[in-house]
Amino acid sequence: ENSPAAKGGLKAGDVIIEADGKSVSNPAELTRALGDKDKKTVNLTVLRNKSRQTSRLRLDTKHRGAPGK
């Protein structure tokens, strides 16, 4: 897939637990953590197969704030 998530190494089933070191436990917290309009990249820590992994993603600003994007 050509999405920012796929380009950043995220896979189906990954559970995002941190964004730039801030704990997130639901989509609203993730949205708040990504809310900085000047931010170009984010470090996301995910749980994948019971293991923590961190990926740096480039944010797609043209879709920021659009539901389901």
Residues 23-62 have pLDDT tens digits of 999 999 998 888 866 778 899 999 999 999 998 888 876 6
Alpha-helical runs (H) found in the chain: 4-7, 27-33
* CB neighbour list of residue 34: distance below 8 Å, 6 or more residues apart: 19, 42, 59, 64
d(CA 55, CA 39): 15
According to the model, what pLDDT value does residue 37 have? 60
β strands within 1-69, DSSP E: 15-19, 22-23, 41-48, 51-58
Other Cβ atoms less than 10 A from the Cβ of 10: the count is 19
Q: Is the pLDDT reported for residue 8 higher than 90?
A: no
Q: Is the pLDDT reported for residue 15 higher than 90?
A: yes
